[in-house]
Amino acid sequence: MVDRRSSLPPRPSQANPSQPRPAGRINTMPLDLDAVDLVVPEDHHLVLSWAEALDQADYLALLDLAPPREGEPGPNDEEIIDAFHTFAERFHPDSYADAPHDVREAALAVFRRGAEAYRVLRDVSLRQRYYRLLEAGTLRMSPEEIAHAEKGERKRPDTARQAVKTAAAAPFAAEADAQLAAGDLKKARLQLQLATMKEPDNEDLAAMLLDVEARLAARS
Amino acid sequence: MGHAVGIDLGTTNTVVAAVVDGTARVLSDDAGDRLIPSVVAFPPNGGVLVGRRARERRRIDAQNTIHSVKRLIGRAWSSEEVVRARTYLPFDLKEGAHGLPLVVSRGRTFDLHTISAFVLQRAKKLAEKVLGGTVDAAVITVPASFNDRQRAATKAAGSEAGLRVLRILNEPTAAALAYGLGRTSPGAHERVAVYDLGGGTFDLTLLDLSSNVFEVLGTAGDSFLGGDDLDLLIVDELRAEILKQTRFDPRGDVQVMERLSTDAEQVKIALSDREEVEITFRDLAAFADGHPIGATILVRRASFERLAAPLVERSIEVCREALAVAKLGIGDFGDVLLVGGSTRIPLVRRKIEQFFQRPPRTDLDPDEVVAIGAAIQADALVRHERPEHGEPRSESARTASGRRNPALPSAFPGRAQRAGPLLVDVTPLTLGVETVSGFVEPVIERNTAVPCSQTRIFTTAKDGQGAITVRVFQGEGRSLGENVLLGELSLDGLREARRGEVQVEVTFALDADGILQVSARDPETARAVSATLKVGRTS
């Protein structure tokens, strides 16, 4: 049943079970009022209600993704990208250039929150951290938490070549980068192991090696 | 309502395109020229010349012929780029208000965006002539790595030229649009790399394209690497050869150096088709006895390639970095798209093919591809403003299944049908604020989708601190020096209290153009300031 009390619009599919949605000609004269009422304002209403309900929405609900359940890992990378693209089509401000000001602002607010959600969900480690917060009832990851988690990563150099400090390790690091770029994880692992032997205390190298091993394990 | 066009406002050349009868095409002037040189000249009669006729004046009146402003626009007087440019640009620059550089010519000064506005006006007029009506709106492209100030300055140039700037669009995204990529079946993804070697900058951008949405996955660049730098290599070669043959050193003569510079570009272009090019200089100067100085020089492709190889290698390094940041390998990509005239150089193509292990796409003209994409986007944006021209919205809203929270709306809005794909761009550089300890604390991370906003809470650092100054930086370094200072913003009237007791909310909001708005708010008094950021004098 549709919950009228909540003042939210019905699902479009229920309001119009089989009819295709008419063309969105909103600039025509009032004679065409039916078309106006049926299409655009309904979507506008939905945008406004999403903006209002924003603080009740967790990141997964916002992107229309199913939450992880017992024994299931939750959505994978591809599903998250697809969900964000669909979300972007629904709420990106470009789609509301012709809408009234309040609707434009509402879409912007929803999109910004969606961008925040995507920022967290598309990063494997942030995603896991967020699931734990969600279990504890927290819907949003605070900017401090995101930044804190990222700061840990930020210190990590992007390439092995940047990570090493000695000339002895440099050739192995360069080769590891080349192999990583070429997508050969096994060869990259070997080179990283060799570089690590030259610089056993280099945490950045160790982290890269762990990362490569994790990616190899995920593959098999 | 007038026409909307796409404009690729380049370091060296500007290209304008429009969608006519459903097809995007580059517009050419009466002489059939599609490239408008991004050059503005101020001849002695007090007029202004733009484009080809302005470029001709580089050879005779270099001091009053302004070019390459894209390298400087939106940058601080004290920035490395401006300091470097002053060493090789033949016209005068001086420091103006807010620490921004000004161009000086014949006793008049011009903002850099005013120079760009002259070029944009020329593009607008050309388009009006071809399209036969007013052109009042445009999508203008910028390198993906442009920061907030550079984008804002470009937008200002557009407004000054009498154009409503529909969007500041990233060049690589425009290129992907031009190739019509992403028009795959629903749900399918295509990943492309865009290698953009422009006149002044190099960028590599990685895009994920699905049927309706283009998402930027990551971008990396080098703002000191472009076609101009390749020209400089040839200039150096020519200069050395002239000195050797004639004992005349062109370095002492700004005007002769400008001639070498314009000829070097022609030599570079010719070497893409030929193994060697012979060039003759006459009347470079006169010997003491009045005899004119001249020289004939043969430049071989092989020797040019030897000189250019380290620069091209730097671009490949950037490719490597971009892949590393996006955590992607070469195998994750389909097409490699080329943008910028310098990608015609055979050496560049060979290196790209070696690195990406596949030949790059070359079916569209690398000089035109960005303008075409911008025109497609301009068309899509104005269509959206005028829905009577749009296609009907047909897809019914997908309903969230098993929604857990009854407070949430029961449905999503429909997905808009659009003339072109929706672009979801990212911010190319991390935005942050200075902390007491002298580091930059990130507020919005690199590669975050825009528009976005983020609020952080900061506390006072001293007892009885009545005001707080937020200094905004952009860049990837942890320390201040590695980042660009975008500006600062002060909030005063704070309650006097022990340090750490007073909190200030700082909000960063990036719009779809990647332009930043910063605001600071004191929750106790509800006093707020929002920034018109000033670019700092020195960092």
The total number of structural domains that make up chain B: 3
CB-based contact A46 B404, cutoff 8 Å: no
Pairwise CB contact (< 8 Å): A177 & B384: no
Q: What is the pLDDT of residue B467?
A: 86
Q: Is B534 a catalytic residue?
A: no
pLDDT at B385: 65
Residue B31 lies in a domain: yes
pLDDT tens per residue across span B367-395: 999 999 999 999 988 876 655 433 433 33
Which residue in this structure is represented by tokens 């900058």? B201
Chain B residues in contact with A26 (beta carbon < 8 A): 387
* Chosen from A85, A98, A155, A180 to mutate, greatest number of chain B CBs within 10 A: A85
- Write down the pLDDT at residue B426: 81
One domain for residues B2 and B123: yes
With DSSP H G I counted as helix, E B as strand and the rest as coil, what are the percentages for chain A, rounded to 5? Answer: 65, 0, 35
Q: How confident is the model at residue B243 (pLDDT cuts 50, 70, 90)?
A: very high
The answer to whether residue B235 is domain-embedded is: yes
| Least reliable range by pLDDT among A8-12, B137-141, B449-453 | A8-12
Q: Is residue B91 part of a domain?
A: yes
Q: Is residue B94 annotated as a catalytic residue, yes or no?
A: no
Mean pLDDT estimate for chain B: 86
pLDDT of A6 > 60? The answer is no
Q: CA nearest B448: which of A105, A146, A106, A139?
A: A146
Determine, for residues A97 and B384 on separate chains, whether the beta-carbon distance falls below 8 Å: yes
Out of A64, A92, A154, the one facing B422 most closely (by C-beta) is A92
Residues A77 and A165 in one domain: no
Backbone angles phi, psi at B530, to 5 degrees: -130, 150
Q: Whole-number mean pLDDT of chain A?
A: 76
pLDDT band for B277, please (50, 70, 90 cuts).
very high
Is the separation of the CB atoms in B498 and B463 below 8 Å? yes
Q: What is the pLDDT of residue A197?
A: 87
Specify the CATH number for the domain of residue B164. 3.30.420.40
Residues A109 and A59 in one domain: yes
Angle formed at CA B235 by CA B230 and CA B241, multiple of 5 degrees: 135
Q: Which of A28, A56, A95 sits opposite B405 (nearest CB)?
A: A56
- SS3 for A99-149 is CCHHHHHHHHHHHHHHHHHHHHHCCHHHHHHHHHHHHCCCCCCCHHHHHHH
Nearest CA-CA partner of B66 in B18, B106, B102, B115? B115
Query: Does residue A2 carry a pLDDT above 50?
Result: no
Q: Which residue of A has its CA nearest to B442?
A: A147
For residue B538, pLDDT over 80 is answered with: no
Count CB pairs under 8 A between chains A and B. 197
- Residue B249 dihedral angles phi and psi, to the nearest 5°: -100, 110
Q: What φ, ψ does residue B111 adopt, rounded to 5°?
A: -65, 155
Average confidence (pLDDT) over B340-356: 95
Q: For this structure, is B222 an active site residue?
A: no
Residues A168 and A99 in one domain: no
Residue ending a domain, among A154, A170, A204, is A154
Tokens of B281: 């200089």
pLDDT at residue B155 tops 60: yes
Q: Has residue B18 got a pLDDT over 90? A: yes
> What's the pLDDT score for residue B316?
95
Of these residues, B171, B265, B368, B434, which one is catalytic? Answer: B171
Q: Which residue reads 């359940």 in tokens?
A: A69
Q: B451 and A10: CB-CB below 8 Å?
A: no
Neighbouring residues of B66: CB distance < 8 A, sequence distance ≥ 6: B39, B40, B41, B42, B91, B103, B105, B110, B115
Domain count, chain A: 2
Question: For residue A84, what are its two tokens?
Answer: 């964000």
Chain B residues touching residue A16 (CB < 8 angstroms)? 396
pLDDT, residue B532, reads: 53
Nearest CA in chain A to B427: A115
Assign residue B479 the CATH number of its domain.
Answer: 2.60.34.10
Selected catalytic residue, list B61, B70, B335, B425: B70
Digit-coded pLDDT (tens) for A95-128: 787 788 999 899 999 999 999 999 999 888 899 8
Q: What is the pLDDT of residue B410?
A: 82
Distance from CA of A50 to the nearest CA of B (A): 6
> How confident is the model over B408-450, as pLDDT tens digits?
888 888 876 655 677 788 887 888 888 776 778 888 887 788 8
Shortest Cα distance, chain B CAs vs residue A64, angstroms: 6
Q: Which residues in chain A touch residue B189, judged by CB atoms under 8 angstroms apart?
A: 78, 81
Output the pTM of the full model: 0.73
- What are the structure tokens assigned to B343, written together? 């990608």
Closest in B330, B410, B443 to A181, CB measured: B330
* pLDDT tens digits for range B494-537: 888 888 888 888 899 888 777 788 998 988 888 888 875 543 33
pLDDT tens column, B72-96:
999 989 888 899 889 889 999 999 9
| Pairing outcome for strands B164-170 and B135-142 | parallel
Residue B229 scores a pLDDT above 70: yes
* B456 vs A contacts (CB less than 8 Å): 143-144, 147
Question: What is the reported pLDDT for B147?
Answer: 79
Query: What's the gap in Å between the CA of A191 and the closest CA on chain B?
Result: 16
Short-list B181, B219, B225, CA closest to B199: B225
CB contact (8 A) between residue A150 and residue B442: yes
Cβ A37 vs Cβ B402: under 8 Å: no
The domain in which residue B374 lies consists of 1-179+364-389+416-424
Are B139 and B286 found together in one domain?
A: no
CA distances from B414 to A11, A88, B72, B273, B306 (A): 11, 11, 43, 52, 56
Is residue A176 domain-shared with residue A148, that is, in the same domain?
no
Domain end call among A110, A130, A154: A154
Q: Are residues A171 and A90 in the same domain?
A: no
CB contact under 8 Å between B512 and A8, yes or no, is no
Q: What value does the CA radius of gyration of chain B take, rounded to a whole number of Å?
A: 25
For residue A31, name the pLDDT band (cuts at 50, 70, 90).
Answer: very low
* β-pairing verdict for B213-222 and B422-424: parallel
Q: Which amino acid is at A22?
A: P
* CB contact (8 A) between residue A154 and residue B442: yes
Nearest to A27 among B187, B323, B388 (CB): B388
Distance from CA of B474 to the nearest CA of A (A): 14
Nearest CA in chain B to A4: B410
The answer on A150 and A94 residing in a single domain is yes
Contact A21, B396 (CB under 8 A): yes
| Same-domain status, A213 and A137 | no
User: Are A147 and B442 in contact, with CB atoms under 8 Å apart?
Assistant: yes
Please report which confidence band the pLDDT of residue B399 belongs to, taking 50, 70 and 90 as the band edges.
very low
B8 belongs to the catalytic site = yes
Q: Are residues B298 and B377 in the same domain?
A: no
In which domain, by residue range, is A56 found? Answer: 4-154
Say which of B61, B111, B148, B196 is annotated catalytic: B196
- Do residue A90 and residue B423 have CB atoms under 8 angstroms apart? no
Report for A97-106, B150-159, B250-259: range of highest mean pLDDT: B150-159
Phi-psi region of B14 (alpha: psi -120 to 50; beta: other; left: phi over 0): beta
- Same domain? For B170 and B39 the reply is yes
Determine the 3-state secondary structure of B355 from DSSP: helix
- Do B384 and B442 lie in one domain? The reply is no
C-alpha–C-alpha distance, residues B91 and B103, integer Å:
8
Enter the DSSP assignment of A202: -
B442 and A20 within 8 Å at the Cβ level: the answer is: no
End residue of a domain, out of A97, A120, A154: A154
- Provide φ and ψ at B482, rounded to 5°: -85, 0
CA-CA-CA-CA dihedral for A108, A111, A117, A121, to nearest 10: -150
Query: What CATH code is carried by the domain that includes residue B251?
Result: 3.90.640.10
Specify the amino acid at residue A116: E
CA distance A71 to chain B (A): 18
Instruction: Look at residues A81, A147, A124 and name the one whose alpha carbon lies nearest to residue A211.
Output: A124
Q: pLDDT per residue over A156-210, tens digit each?
A: 677 888 888 888 888 999 999 888 888 888 999 999 999 988 888 777 788 788 7
A108 and A57 within one domain: yes
- Higher confidence at residue B99 or residue B300? B300
Domain-embedded: residue B471:
yes
Least confident of B12-26, B397-411, B467-481: B397-411
Q: Are residues B88 and B149 in the same domain?
A: yes
Q: Which residues of A touch B394 (CB under 8 A)?
A: 20-21
- From the list A89, A112, A146, the residue facing B213 with the nearest CB is A89
Residue A34 pLDDT: 32
Contacts of A114 (CB under 8 A, 6+ apart): A62, A63, A84, A87, A88, A91
- What number of other Cβ atoms are within 10 A of residue A92's Cβ? 25
Q: Do A158 and B387 touch (CB under 8 A)?
A: no
Do both A101 and A190 map to the same domain?
no
- Which residue out of B208, B318, B415, B510 would a mutagenesis test of the A interface target, given it has the greatest number of A Cβ atoms within 10 Å? B415
Domain boundary among B306, B331, B354: B306
Please say which residue of B306, B337, B356 terminates a domain: B306
Do residues B420 and B466 both lie within one domain? Answer: no
The Cα B72–Cα B223 span in angstroms is 11
Contact B400 A64 (CB under 8 A): yes
User: How far is the C-alpha of A61 from the C-alpha of B13, rounded, in Å?
Assistant: 47
Question: Could you tell me if residue B369 is inside a domain?
Answer: yes
Q: Which residues does chain B have within 8 Å of residue A106's beta carbon, measured at their own beta carbons? A: none
**Residue the block writes with tokens 């993704």:** A65
Are residues B420 and B482 located together in one domain of the fold?
A: no
| Displacement of CA A102 from its chain's centroid (Å) | 26
For residue A108, which residues of chain B lie inside 8 Å, CB to CB? Answer: 451
Q: Which residues of B touch A154 (CB under 8 A)?
A: 442, 478
Angle, CA of A150, B438 and B451, to the nearest 5°:
45
The pLDDT > 70 percentage for chain A reads: 76
Whether residues A43 and A137 fall in one domain: yes
Model confidence at A142, pLDDT cuts 50, 70, 90, reads: confident
CA distance A133 to chain B (A): 17
- Domain identity same for B466 and B374: no
- CB contacts, 8 Å: B379 with chain A: none
Residues A138 and A82 in one domain: yes
Question: Which chain A residues are closer than 8 Å to B509 by Cβ?
Answer: 112
**In sequence order, which residues have a C-beta less than 8 Å from that of residue A150 and are 6 or more positions away?**
A126, B442, B445
> What chain A residue is nearest to B220 in terms of C-alpha separation?
A158
Let me know if residue B410 belongs to a domain.
no
Cα–Cα distance, B82 to B100 (Å, whole number): 10
- How far is residue A48's CA from residue A42's CA, in Å, rounded to a whole number? 10
Residue from the list B396, B453, B455 with its beta carbon closest to the beta carbon of A12: B396
Q: How far is CA A24 from CA A17, A38, B224, B381, B384, in A?
A: 18, 9, 48, 16, 11
Q: Which token pair is B112? A: 């850099």
In a domain, B398, yes or no: no
Whole-angstrom distance, CA of residue A44 vs CA of residue B48: 49
pLDDT at position B298 is: 95
CATH of the domain at A75: 1.10.287.110
Phi/psi-derived region of residue B229, left when phi > 0, alpha when psi is between -120 and 50, beta in every other case: alpha
B156 lies in the same domain as B59: yes
Contacts of A103 in chain B (CB under 8 A): none
Q: For the segment B440-469, what is each residue's pLDDT rounded down to a tens digit? A: 888 888 778 888 998 888 888 888 888 888
Q: Examine the fold and report which residue of B282, B306, B330 is the final residue of a domain before the chain moves on.
A: B306
Respond yes or no on whether the N-terminal peptide bond of residue B451 is cis (omega within 30° of 0).
Answer: yes
Same domain, A189 and A126: no
Per-residue pLDDT tens for B167-214?
A: 998 898 899 889 877 656 666 778 899 999 988 889 899 988 876 788
In a domain, B52, yes or no: yes
